[in-house]
Amino acid sequence: MNEVTLNNGVKMPILGLGIYQLLGIKGREAIEEAINIGYTLIDTAQMYNNEHILADAIKSSKENLGIKREDLFITTKLFSPSRSYKLAKEGIKESLNNLRTDYIDLMLIHEPYREALDMYGALEEAYNEGIIRSIGISNFNIDEYLSFIDKCDIIPSVNQVETHIFHQQKELWEVMKEHGTLMNAWSPFAAGKNNIFQNEVLLSIGTKYGKTAAQVSLRYFVERGIVVIPKSSNKERLKENIDIFDFELSDEDICRIEKLDTKKSLFGWY
């Protein structure tokens, strides 16, 4: 798996599996299948209520496939019940217990809560203690990001935000790049909105390379150094999503995809 280097030197896979709504036995089996196929980055969150399911999948993968914990890169996120320094410290312990691990590769503040700086202080402490290898934020816009890094001690390694061909977040990407924070795209397929899998531009480009619209979309962001975490529980789609490292988009392809950017969110909850 191709990797990117975070601002603290930690290597992070550039493509992984988002496990939002992957629950129960089927969720565990989907995660195991992804690990079996070759996924090493798995993205969860306390809010998703499936950290323990990921732990089960990791345990099973070790027993059945010989996959070690250190072979994987696990991201999770603190959310609203942890909205203070003290509660965030307890939240970190909770995630460690749920994941049944003694360290977390990347932990994020899930949203720009009013108490985000206090919560981040707990992450900084855990980072300095070696409990968390990298720390970051999620769903911070430009103004929120710039205000945050002006006050925190450790520049976030990652800001995970809505990023897809219809909302490419170029301005935010440029600002974060200047300060050393990597962009991590959640919902890189826009949850199937705007008929993305049948988009004529993506299909046309894909025809040249023998790739699908989904693969072209992922490739576009990977070539910009943006980490993508598409979700799927389908074995064939899992294989398809990871099979994007044997072609390269042309300048013309990139120009056509850039024109698809509406600069607007497709999700109304933030």
Pick the catalytic residue from 20, 39, 48, 145: 48
CB 267 within 8 A of CB 187: yes
Shortest CA distance to 134 belongs to which of 159, 161, 158? 158
CA atoms lying within 13 Å on the CB side of residue 173: 17
Our measurement of the distance from residue 182's CA atom to the centroid of its chain's CA atoms, rounded to an integer in Å, reads: 10
**What is the predicted pLDDT for the residue at 255?**
98
pLDDT in tens, 100-110: 999 999 999 99
CA–CA separation, 176 vs 171, rounded Å?
A: 9
CA distance from start to end of the chain = 32
Name the amino acid, one letter, at 261.
D
Name the helix (H) or strand (E) containing 244. Answer: none
Confidence band of 11 (pLDDT split at 50, 70, 90): very high
81 in Cβ contact with 91 (< 8 Å)? yes
pLDDT for 1: 79
110 assigned binding-site residue: yes
Type and span of the H or E element at 42 = strand 41-43
Q: What is the pLDDT of residue 270?
A: 66
48 flagged as catalytic: yes
Joined together, the tokens standing for residue 144 give: 């929120």
Class of 11-258 in CATH: alpha beta
**Closest C-alpha to 107, from 122, 118, 117, 97:** 122
Task: For the chain, give every domain's residue range.
Answer: 11-258
Tens-digit pLDDT profile for residues 58-82: 999 999 889 999 999 999 999 988 7
For residue 84, the Cα-to-chain-centroid distance in whole angstroms is 24
**CB of 108 closer than 8 Å to CB of 75:** yes
> Of 51, 55, 159, which Cα lies nearest the Cα of 112?
159
| 146-205 pLDDT per residue, tens | 999 999 999 999 999 999 999 999 999 999 999 999 999 999 999 999 999 999 999 999
In the predicted structure, residue 7 carries a pLDDT above the cut 80: yes
For 245, phi and psi rounded to 5 degrees?
-105, 15
Could you report the per-residue pLDDT of 211-260, keeping only the tens digit for each?
999 999 999 999 999 999 999 999 999 999 999 999 999 999 999 999 99
Residue 69, number of CB atoms within 10 A of its CB: 17
